[in-house]
Structure 1
Amino acid sequence: MLPSLIDQAERLVELGLVEATGALSADDLLGAAERLGTSAGAGALLVVADGVLPPSALVPRLRRSVGGRDPGDKRGFVVTDMSDIDDFAPTPTTVVPDALVYAVADPDRGDAMRDWSGAEAEAAILERGRTPFTIAEGVHWALQAPEVLARNACYMMIGSRLPKAKGFDSRTPALWISNGTGWDGRERRGAPKAGWCWWNNRHTWLGFASGVERVA
């Protein structure tokens, strides 16, 4: 479902995201993509570190074309009660490279884990030698392959949690498709939505995104 790492880099450049960072040039990104292409393998996902491109800057760039009652090109959004999305950080078991650009090998939506709790999914992902996606990784994936978000088949990103004095905030980040109800607003029906679910809740439409490894 993913284009080459070079093509992914070019898309980020075309969207103006790289220029907006002030920390990474287009040449830097393309060079990193070319280098990673030799080590990450086909089908890998290119990721710019969230310290450079935070989720709040990426989510509004998501697009989804819909028809039916509310046709149009729907823009991604962050739910109103997750204004602190950029404060979510990788968990201790989610080791993210200290690099401006890296790749995640073999991304998977985790469809087989739909209707699981976060705790159950985390244990299974780690047992299988995989690593759960962070918010930044999950949003990059939907940015490069919009079709990865489908009705009744979206995903949580449990590699990112919000630290508290003891443990983590129970809100657990997820990416799915808005129904246009409540605070979302009718005009957002069908739009990509970055929101949250409770850690121990189960949702039949949410898997748990993961990859095999991060390559820097």
Structure 2
Amino acid sequence: MALPTLSTQAERLIDLDLHTFAGVPAEALTDAAVRAGAERTDALLAIDPALAPPSALAPLMRRGEKPGFVVEDMTDVDAFGPNGVDLPDSPLYLIQAPDRGDEFENVSPAEALEAITAGGRSPLLLTEGLLWVLQVPEILERNHCFMTIGSRIRKASGQLDSRTPALWISGGTGRDGTTRRDAPKLGWCWWNNRHTWLGIASAGGRTVG
């Protein structure tokens, strides 16, 4: 599923007023797109997670008329930060060649991480996955969604929390409620569990402009 041009992506983020939330001028987004190549469709324009956390991005997702949401038992969603991922020192950056990772369906995050890094790629962050869905809502397909295992929580003990974030489509069951059926959903999975309907998303690299 092709990305919009970088210039279109910048306008989309401005339309969502994310530049205001992140505290960057609208011109910074459009200028970043121009510097990188306004007509490019091989990269995703991203905002530093510290400036646009998951709790701010998730409700902006849409599938039809249904807004996105965070599962009720993930009140600590903004604590999921980059783990083993080096981000450019810039409020705005590019994610090169994002991939949904369908080949990792029915593979646990623990198993997939080694294969992703061995292939010269990097696991996608939760905020990066959310920004991708904002630009390309159809990247979430029934039975083909994805985890974002580059974001983890490190406990005070130094150990990593055993959850990993994921984005998928609600079935409208349980605490989601029937009114949220078919809505885009931010939830979590166990690090060592496999899911036949969740790939593990990755990036080809991250650059500034």
Q: TM-score range by the shorter chain?
A: over 0.9
What TM-score results when the alignment is normalised by the length of structure 2? 0.95
Amino acid at match of 1:37: G
Q: Is the 8 A contact 1:41 1:105 kept in 2?
A: no
1:199 to 191, 197, 200: 191
Any idea what the Cα deviations from partners look like across 1:187-209, whole Å, max 9, x if unmatched? 00000000100000000000011
1:79 to 66, 71, 79: 71
Cα drift, residue 25 of structure 1: 0.9
Cα drift, residue 150 of structure 1: 0.1
- Once the two structures are superposed, the pairs formed by residues 44-123 of structure 1 within 5 Å of their partners are 44-65=43-64, 73-92=65-84, 94-123=85-114
Cα drift, residue 16 of structure 1: 1.6
Q: Is the 8 A contact 2:6 2:40 kept in 1?
A: no
Q: How many residues align?
A: 206
The alignment status of 1:28 with 2:28, answered yes or no, reads: yes
Amino acid at match of 1:62: M
Q: Which blocks of at least 5 consecutive residues in structure 1 are unaligned?
A: 66-72
Q: What percent of counterpart residues are identical?
A: 52
Aligned twin of 1:68: none
Cα drift, residue 166 of structure 1: 2.8
1:175 to 167, 171, 174: 167
Q: Which runs of 4+ in 1 moved over 3 A?
A: none
1:147 to 122, 138, 144: 138
- In terms of mean alpha carbon deviation, does 196-205 or 40-49 score higher? 40-49
Work out the CA distance in 1 between the residues paired with 2:40 and 2:32: 14
Amino acid at match of 2:69: F
Work out the CA distance in 2 between the residues paired with 1:85 and 1:35: 33
What TM-score results when the alignment is normalised by the length of structure 1? 0.92
Any idea what the Cα deviations from partners look like across 1:3-39, whole Å, max 9, x if unmatched? 1111101001011221233x2010111111211237x
